A and B are shown apart, each in its own frame.
Chain A
C-alpha cells in the first residue's frame, strides 16, 4: 500500500515537472532564438524582401492580429455570455439547457480548419464579403464562443442563489438583477474568460487561412479588407523556410502577447477572490 502511494506521488510529481519543463523549454527556446530578431524596426515596419518576410518587420501582422482578436472577442463574448445568461437565468427546461451545453461541446470539438471552411463558405462566399478582417474575426469568434460560454456559465452559476432570490424578493426583474447584481459580481471572471478566449484566437491560423489572412498587406484601415495575422505570417515564414530568425521573432511576439494577456486575465480573476 505504501509503495503504491509513493508510486502515485512520484508519477504526479514527474508529470508536473515534465509539463512545466516543456512549457519552460518552449518559451526559453523561442525567446532565445527570437530575441535577435526583435528590434524596434522589426516591430514597427512592414515585411520586405524578395521572398516576403525575410527582411523588414511584422507591424501589419501585429495590427491585423489585434483586429482579428478584438472582433473575435467581441463576437464570442456577446454570444457566449448571452447564451450563458439564458441558460442560467431564463431557461426553465433542463432539457433545453442540456441541449445547449451539448451543442457547445460539439462546437468546441470542431477542428479549427473546419471552422475556417465554414466561415469561408458562409461569410466570404455566401454573404459575399470576400476575404476580410470581419469574416476572419467572426470565424475566430465562433471558434472561441464555446470557450467563453463554458466559463461564463460557470461564473454565473457560482453567484450565491440566496442573493438572487433576495433581489427577486424586492420585486425587481430578472434583467435588473442580472445587470446590477450578477454581472457586477462575475465581471472579473467574465473578462478573464474573454481574454483567455482571445489568446486562443490570437494563436490560431487555421480559421483565418480562407477567411481573412493574407501573405502581405499594409496596416489595415478597414475591417472589410483582408489583413496579415501573426500566426499565419509565422506559418508562411516556416513553410518558405527562408528566414527562421524572423519566424522565431514572430513567434516571440505572439507568445509574449499571449503571456501578458494570460497574466492579466489571471490577475483580474484573482483580484475578485481577494
Chain B
C-alpha cells in the first residue's frame, strides 16, 4: 500500500519479558478513520502509544520491528518532531490547569508563535473546528477545568490540533463522557478526517461501526483481522472475530 501514511512492519512490544504485541504489520491510510478494536488487555492502547512513542515514557518497554511515518522510520526521528506530527488525545480529558486560552497557546508558543494576533487566530480557528468557540468565546480566560467533561475533551482535541499534526491518535476518547458529548465528538471526528488521519482505540463496537472507515481487530497482542469496517463487521473471515463481534469476549 503505497498511499499509506503510517506503516507498521513486524512490530512487537514487550513489557519486561512479556510480549504484549506480536509482529503487527499493517498500513494506515490517510484521511480515514481507523479503529483499533479488541477485548481488554489485547494491546490496543499499547499499539496506539507506540505510534507517537509515548510508550517510551513508561519504563521497562522494548520494541522490535519498525513503524514508518510517510516512509520515515519514527525511531530515527527526534521524538518531539514525531509527537508534533502525530497528536494524541487521552481517555480522560486532560486540560492543563490554566485558562482555555493558555491551553490553546501552550504548543504554538513553544513553536515560536509570539504575536498576539497570530495566537488569537490559532485559538479561534482551532476552537471553531471543534465547535467550542461559540460556547466559550466570551470566557477564554476562564480555567479550562471549569468546562464540562465533553467540552474538556473537545478542548483537548482542539489543543492537539494547535500543533498542526498530520495524524490524530485517540485513546477511547469518549469512554468518560455521556451520550450527547460522545455524539458531538463522533461527528467532530468524522468531519476532521478531511484534514487529518485519525486512529482511534475504542471498546465500543457501535462507535467503531458508526465512524470508522477501517478496522483493526487485535486479539492477545496479535493482529487478528483487518479491513474495511463494513466488510469486517458483516463478513468477518475468522471465527474469533465473529465471536468478538457477537459479544463472546465482552
Interface of A toward B, CB cutoff 8 Å: 92, 94, 160, 162-163, 165-173, 176, 180-181, 184-185
Q: How many angstroms from the CA of A94 to the CA of B60 in the assembled complex?
A: 11
Nearest-CB residue, chain B, relative to A170: B107
Give chain B nearest CB distance to A77 CB in angstroms.
23
> Are A171 and B59 CB-contacts (below 8 A) given A162-B90, A181-B96?
no
Q: How many angstroms from the CA of A249 to the CA of B81 in the assembled complex?
A: 62
Interface presence of B98 (CB below 8 A)? yes
Interface presence of B97 (CB below 8 A)? yes
In the bound complex, do residue A162 and residue B107 qualify as a contact, i.e. CB atoms below 8 Å apart? Answer: no
Interface presence of B173 (CB below 8 A)? no
In the bound complex, do residue B59 and residue A92 qualify as a contact, i.e. CB atoms below 8 Å apart? Answer: yes
Listed stretches B116-124, B156-164, B219-227; interface member:
B156-164
Q: How many angstroms from the CA of A184 to the CA of B92 in the assembled complex?
A: 22
In the bound complex, do residue A165 and residue B90 qualify as a contact, i.e. CB atoms below 8 Å apart? Answer: yes
Interface presence of B87 (CB below 8 A)? yes
In the bound complex, do residue B110 and residue A169 qualify as a contact, i.e. CB atoms below 8 Å apart? Answer: no
What is the size, in residues, of chain B's interface with A at 8 Å between Cβ atoms?
Answer: 26
Ordered by A's residue number, 6 sampled pairs between the chains whose C-beta atoms are within 8 Å are A162-B90, A165-B94, A167-B96, A170-B163, A171-B163, A172-B110
> Are A169 and B98 CB-contacts (below 8 A) given A162-B92, A180-B106?
no
Q: How many angstroms from the CA of A37 to the CA of B160 in the assembled complex?
A: 64
Map CB proximity to A onto B146-165 as digits: 1 under 8 Å, 0 otherwise: 00000000001001101100
Interface presence of B52 (CB below 8 A)? yes
Question: A167: which of B81, B92, B106, B162 is its contact (CB, 8 Å)?
Answer: B106
Interface presence of B85 (CB below 8 A)? yes
In the bound complex, do residue B106 and residue A172 qualify as a contact, i.e. CB atoms below 8 Å apart? Answer: yes
Question: A170: which of B59, B97, B160 is its contact (CB, 8 Å)?
Answer: B160
> Are A163 and B94 CB-contacts (below 8 A) given A92-B59, A169-B54, A170-B159?
yes
In the bound complex, do residue A171 and residue B82 qualify as a contact, i.e. CB atoms below 8 Å apart? Answer: yes
Nearest-CB residue, chain A, relative to B84: A171
In the bound complex, do residue A172 and residue B92 qualify as a contact, i.e. CB atoms below 8 Å apart? Answer: no
Q: How many angstroms from the CA of A129 to the CA of B107 in the assembled complex?
A: 47
Nearest-CB residue, chain A, relative to B81: A171
Nearest-CB residue, chain B, relative to A166: B94
In the bound complex, do residue B87 and residue A170 qualify as a contact, i.e. CB atoms below 8 Å apart? Answer: yes
Q: How many angstroms from the CA of A92 to the CA of B59 in the assembled complex?
A: 8
In the bound complex, do residue B90 and residue A170 qualify as a contact, i.e. CB atoms below 8 Å apart? Answer: no
In the bound complex, do residue A170 and residue B96 qualify as a contact, i.e. CB atoms below 8 Å apart? Answer: no
Nearest-CB residue, chain B, relative to A93: B59
Nearest-CB residue, chain B, relative to A184: B98
Give chain A nearest CB distance to B100 CB in angstroms.
15
Nearest-CB residue, chain A, relative to B83: A171
* A-contacting residues, B67-94, CB 8 Å: 80-85, 87-88, 90, 92, 94
A160 cross-chain contacts in B, Cβ below 8 A:
94
